[in-house]
Structure 1
Amino acid sequence: MASPDRPQQPDARSAAAAAAGAGEGAGDAVVPTPLPPTERFAARTAGMTASEIRALFAVASRPEVVSLAGGMPNLAALPLGSLSAEVAELIDDDGLSALQYGSAQGVPVLREQICEVMREEGVEGDPNDVVVTVGSQMALDLLTRIFVDPGDVVLAEGPSYVGALGSFAAYQARVVHVAMDEHGLVPERLQEALETLAGQGITPKFLYTIPNFHNPAGVTLAHERRPRILEICRRYGVMVIEDNPYGMLGFDGQVHPALRSYDADVIYLGSFSKTFASGLRVGWALVPPLVRDRLVLAAESATLCPPTFTQMMVSRYLAHHDWRSMIKTFAENYRERRDAMLAALETYLPEGCSWTVPDGGFFVWLTVPEGVDTKAMLPRAVTARVAYASGTGFYADGFGSRQLRLSFCYPTPERITEGVRRLAAVLEAELDVVRTFGSSARRELNRGPQGPRPDSI
């Protein structure tokens, strides 16, 4: 029974009835119909789409499928026993610090060690200009956030890293691809792109480039092109972001000079994901002081601070282990797998296929004959128990349907050989259809257009 001094609250039905009749009187408000969550999303989320490569993981992880798709490092050579002891000692010696909040810029001692790591590639950096991030992907995403407004143009190699394209799309950037060849980014094509954009009154916010052992193309930027590319960008007022996660994983022992070693205005991104342990998610950006302050603010708003524990773990590894020898061991393992892939491609692939020959890193970029669409072919490849990454995922403009990326970093040489053999059989079946009925028939079967152009590499 209601209290005499408190009005009784209406039940849900009477409230709904009151709302329905609220419009009968002049000036009465109409209760709006609630919007579904999808109609509340910000406009920029329209560019946030699932990565074609991430979507493959559930299928590619099945044991019967040989996955040549994901760029997952092979960590079998890591000294897990001694690393386990390091973790225990870290907790015993510095547990109260390691498990606590830290600086948004990163642990100071690790930033000093990062500068030592970068010296291997000719980069001289100040620890105060290093910002530690949760993998270099976070650094790239935050840099895009602080530099790019919706509609701004960024330049990237064609093809380019799928994670970078995802960040650019999320911040509504317009990506203009610049062609590569077997020697990396082509300076003349860069010049042409900048001239065309200048004629439209557009200055790109930055050039995003992976000069060493490119993902996905597997090529390395020729040394003589590096200063030329930097000079062209300076002339047009374009900043350069250099992403270099694979730079120390060369197969001939050569360490290529980073673009940052030529020009202190280059923003350099690095990572321990390929040279130590990807699961720790520790990367960094070396940036000019004016950029550093904004980047730290962006990092604070994103994560408050990078995890102190994983930073201190990486720091102890660098201090107590022969990390240079470990990197050489990784590179030797990847070279063995690269050789197995190249031999299998030469043995099994049909005529008309071509591929890059990487001298480091994780990837081979394969071009298939005219009439074959690698994205449409992928379900048939998975049915044949082999997976790859189709080329369209590495372009922002729909190109790449005649290309695919093959990753040799994780499977054993024997699995790589078997995977390429299975892929070759799928390609032969596709080509049989094209030879019999023509490429238009295959396009009709695929229910999608063939890529509009061949690529440079």
Structure 2
Amino acid sequence: MYHDRYAARAFSMKESAVRALFAVANRPEVVSLAGGMPNIADLPLDIVGDAVRDMIQSAAGPRALQYGSGQGEQMLREQICEVMAEEGIRAHPDDVTVTVGSQQGLDLLTKIFCDPGDVILAEAPSYVGALSTFSSYQAEVVHVEMDDHGLVPERLREAVVTLAAQGKRVKFLYTIPNYSNPSGITQTLERRKAILEVAKETGLLIVEDNPYGLLDLEGGRLPAIRSMEHEQVIYLGSFSKTFSPGIRVGWVLAPHAVREKLVLAQEAATLSPPTFSQYVVSTYLRVHDWRQQITVFRDMYRERRDAMLAALPDYMPVGTTWTHPLGGFFVWLTLPEGIDSQAMLPRAVTNRVAYTPGTAFYADGLGARNIRLSYCYPTPERIREGVRRLGEVLNRESQLNRTFGVRHAGPHFGLAELNTPQPNQE
């Protein structure tokens, strides 16, 4: 009855590989290393609760419960500029548009820039939520190679030139330069400058997605790409990782002309981003030492990351490699030849551990030999146990390959140059 009535874009919509795992991964007996769910256990809920109660009972209460501006509340946009200043960005509140998480910001940008068949460049691998958004607007994703320094500028230039010669319209480059989801890789300062130079040479617009930028775990926080260029970089930010994902408040920093279109798109989508959520975030930023709170989060995530990096060499089979994230939530594994992460997932769940197969992070079928592991939510003890269980499954798969011969696991891009094989017991 409905099939013939759907718009063509509806057939491009696919279930998120991460969301599909939730029903299984949330079972208490399963150690989930799959989803990138922030751990808010260290958030001072008593302080937040008291502040929100006081706000509601104050003169601001009626305003917080009313319709708001399509661009977002002025006081929050001013505070967002203070947050972005931590990464070297000088911005004016007028150029900030508040969104329902940075995911909506990405959706609005794709809506206003992309027609069906337009091309979006994205690093390989790339964020699964972004790929879903691009697909829903019938855009073509072309991946650009990464190495241990991030996106490779030469490959970016080649992609832009080749696609132009084919008569295709490249609308923008999508990149997560800090602690990328899923690879955990960080673009070096030199690489950021080189990528920006390519963008200037070719007229390429950059969409910089930076949800993890303040969660550096080894110091040496790098300036955002947007801090180096105002007109050619659109910046996405979020409070989901540094405050609360349930509040669903993000933002887009864009040049004035783009901001006007974003506000129109926002008004068409939601009338206005939720005013109450904005007042909650604004109150939190005003009454709590949010910079110190980020330090608390960083210490907590560092402990979890270190637990995972310590467990991997103890339990992974020979031939497995992985990245060493300097921040964020994720480690990216490349598996031994012949192991297919998607095919192996049911056996891992049977062994009470969950992960996200690498194929979720490519638009072109790559990633069969890759796994994204998340260390942000489980305790260090659970992380080690989850890695142990995963190691059992991988060692069994490796044993089968040795017994019956290596099975082809499909094409992959493993970032192998990022790692050295770790000494291991079988």
Aligned equivalents of 1:170, 1:242: Cα separation in 2: 20
Aligned equivalents of 2:358, 2:14: Cα separation in 1: 16
The equivalent of 1:328 in structure 2 is 295
Aligned equivalents of 2:412, 2:47: Cα separation in 1: 52
The equivalent of 2:166 in structure 1 is 200
- The percent identity for this pair of structures is 63
Aligned equivalents of 2:66, 2:344: Cα separation in 1: 49
The equivalent of 1:21 in structure 2 is none
Aligned equivalents of 1:453, 1:70: Cα separation in 2: 21
Once the two structures are superposed, residues 148-182 of structure 1 have per-residue CA deviations (whole angstroms, 9 ceiling, x without a partner) of 00000000000000000000000000000001111
Aligned equivalents of 2:161, 2:207: Cα separation in 1: 20
Aligned equivalents of 2:338, 2:10: Cα separation in 1: 34
TM-score, normalised to structure 2, is 0.96
Query: 278, 284, 288: which one pairs with 1:311?
Result: 278
Query: 347, 360, 371: which one pairs with 2:327?
Result: 360
Aligned equivalents of 1:44, 1:131: Cα separation in 2: 26
8 Å contact 1:349–1:424 — kept in the other structure? yes
Where does structure 2 lack aligned partners over 5 or more consecutive residues? 417-426
Once the two structures are superposed, residues 275-301 of structure 1 have per-residue CA deviations (whole angstroms, 9 ceiling, x without a partner) of 001100000000000001110000011
Where does structure 1 lack aligned partners over 5 or more consecutive residues? 1-35, 444-449
1:149 counterpart = 2:149:
no
| SS of residue in 2 equivalent to 1:102 | coil
TM-score, normalised to structure 1, is 0.89
Aligned equivalents of 2:413, 2:256: Cα separation in 1: 42
Aligned-partner residue type, residue 317 of structure 2: P
The equivalent of 2:47 in structure 1 is 82
Aligned equivalents of 1:455, 1:206: Cα separation in 2: 24
8 Å contact 2:52–2:283 — kept in the other structure? no
Once the two structures are superposed, residues 405-427 of structure 1 have per-residue CA deviations (whole angstroms, 9 ceiling, x without a partner) of 00000000000000000000000
| SS of residue in 1 equivalent to 2:207 | strand
- Return the offset for 1:254: 2.6
Aligned equivalents of 1:203, 1:149: Cα separation in 2: 10
| SS of residue in 2 equivalent to 1:404 | strand
1:173 counterpart = 2:173:
no
Once the two structures are superposed, residues 371-411 of structure 1 have per-residue CA deviations (whole angstroms, 9 ceiling, x without a partner) of 00000100100000000000000000010000010000000
Aligned equivalents of 1:242, 1:108: Cα separation in 2: 23
8 Å contact 1:203–1:237 — kept in the other structure? no
Aligned equivalents of 1:208, 1:280: Cα separation in 2: 25
| SS of residue in 1 equivalent to 2:366 | coil
Aligned equivalents of 1:408, 1:202: Cα separation in 2: 39
- Return the offset for 1:220: 0.3
| SS of residue in 1 equivalent to 2:244 | helix
Aligned equivalents of 1:318, 1:190: Cα separation in 2: 38
8 Å contact 2:71–2:96 — kept in the other structure? yes
Aligned equivalents of 2:271, 2:406: Cα separation in 1: 53
The equivalent of 2:181 in structure 1 is 215
Aligned equivalents of 1:456, 1:386: Cα separation in 2: 24
- Return the offset for 1:431: 1.0
Once the two structures are superposed, residues 178-224 of structure 1 have per-residue CA deviations (whole angstroms, 9 ceiling, x without a partner) of 01111111111112212221221334100000000100000100110
8 Å contact 2:182–2:331 — kept in the other structure? yes
- Return the offset for 1:335: 0.4
Aligned-partner residue type, residue 126 of structure 1: H
- Return the offset for 1:43: 0.4
- Residue correspondence of structure 1 range 17-416 to structure 2 within 5 A: 36-93=1-58, 94-265=60-231, 266-416=233-383
8 Å contact 2:370–2:412 — kept in the other structure? no
Query: 371, 385, 393: which one pairs with 1:418?
Result: 385
Once the two structures are superposed, residues 281-329 of structure 1 have per-residue CA deviations (whole angstroms, 9 ceiling, x without a partner) of 0000000000011100000111111111110110011111100000011
- Return the offset for 1:454: 3.7
- Return the offset for 1:70: 0.2
Indicate the structure (1 or 2) with the bigger Cα radius of gyration. 1
Aligned residues: 414
Aligned equivalents of 2:288, 2:214: Cα separation in 1: 17
| SS of residue in 2 equivalent to 1:416 | helix
Query: 397, 414, 418: which one pairs with 1:455?
Result: 414
Aligned equivalents of 2:67, 2:406: Cα separation in 1: 59
Aligned equivalents of 1:348, 1:334: Cα separation in 2: 21
